[in-house]
């Protein structure tokens, strides 16, 4: 079973995260940012991964450090759980509609970190999550997991729907990319 347990302590946050790739889609814990918890639960369910976390962040400042640091730790957990990436499909993609909004996610778990993120928001926040932090979360995940990640929301009116469709598209694309196939590392170089 592929899993990881990462603990990260800084002056701004304290995070204890456990990730199981072959899970049942369960989410346990809280970041203290309600809408972000809702998105992490959606991620867990749609990726079919178990995510348990305990987070204490400096929310009296704002949600920035908490959201970004959870992304860092989740990215590190993905990297650890995947090991040398031998036998994974490596590539994943998915398009998810949510009412009037639609997001696409395309990824390559290549070891080369990159993010292309395209989404325009109309509101500064959804609940207690600053909309500008969604890109920061995905950047932190991609750069710490070693994923080339393209997330695109070309249309939509409701920012809640835009963000949720991104998390679900990311989850489904990731599920496909980490699926085990026959053979070794999927690379003409023999390593990722």
Compute and round to an integer the Cα radius of gyration of the chain: 16
Q: 138 in a domain, yes or no?
A: yes
Q: 186 in a domain, yes or no?
A: no
Cβ-contact 151, 87 below 8 angstroms: no
**Residue 140 exposed, middle or buried by CB count within 10 Å (0-12, 13-18, 19+):** buried
Cβ-contact 36, 125 below 8 angstroms: no
Per-residue model confidence as pLDDT tens digits over 5-21: 999 999 999 999 999 99
Instruction: Give me the CATH number covering residue 173.
Output: 3.30.230.40
Q: 104 in a domain, yes or no?
A: yes
The confidence score (pLDDT) of residue 32 equals: 98
Q: Taking residues 110-119, what's their average pLDDT?
A: 97
Give the residue ranges of DSSP H helices in the chain.
34-47, 64-82, 132-145, 159-178
Report in angstroms the alpha-carbon separations of 53 from 149, 156, 171: 24, 31, 17
The confidence score (pLDDT) of residue 185 equals: 66
Q: Which of 29-33, 83-87, 92-96, 180-184 has the lowest mean pLDDT?
A: 180-184
pLDDT over 80 at 192, yes or no: no
Structural domain that includes position 17: 3-178
**Residue 24 exposed, middle or buried by CB count within 10 Å (0-12, 13-18, 19+):** exposed
**Number of domains, the chain:** 1
Q: 188 in a domain, yes or no?
A: no
Other Cβ atoms less than 10 A from the Cβ of 19: the count is 24
The confidence score (pLDDT) of residue 183 equals: 74
Cβ-contact 162, 121 below 8 angstroms: yes
Cβ-contact 33, 59 below 8 angstroms: yes
Is the pLDDT higher at 90 or at 189? 90
Q: 187 in a domain, yes or no?
A: no
pLDDT bucket at 86, cuts 50 / 70 / 90 = confident
DSSP 94: E
The confidence score (pLDDT) of residue 186 equals: 65
Show the tokens assigned to 52: 């348990």
Q: 100 in a domain, yes or no?
A: yes
pLDDT bucket at 46, cuts 50 / 70 / 90 = very high
Q: 190 in a domain, yes or no?
A: no
């Amino acid at each position: 079973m592929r899993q990881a347990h990462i603990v990260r302590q800084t002056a701004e946050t304290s995070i204890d995260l456990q990730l199981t790739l072959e899970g049942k889609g369960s989410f346990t814990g809280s970041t203290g940012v309600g809408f972000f918890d809702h998105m992490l639960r959606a991620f867990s369910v749609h990726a079919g991964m178990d995510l348990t976390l305990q987070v204490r962040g400096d929310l009296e400042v704002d949600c920035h450090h908490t959201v970004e640091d959870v992304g860092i730790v989740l990215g590190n957990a993905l990297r650890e759980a995947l090991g040398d990436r031998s036998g994974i499909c490596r590539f994943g993609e998915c398009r998810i509609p949510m009412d009037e909004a639609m997001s696409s996610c395309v990824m390559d778990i290549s070891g080369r970190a990159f993010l292309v993120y395209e989404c325009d928001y109309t509101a500064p926040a959804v609940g207690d999550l600053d909309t500008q932090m969604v890109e920061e979360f995905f950047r932190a995940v991609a750069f710490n997991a070693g994923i080339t990640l393209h997330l695109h929301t070309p249309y939509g009116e409701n920012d809640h729907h835009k963000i949720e469709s991104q998390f679900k598209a990311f989850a489904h694309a990731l599920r496909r990319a980490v699926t085990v196939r026959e053979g070794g590392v999927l690379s003409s170089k023999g390593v990722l």
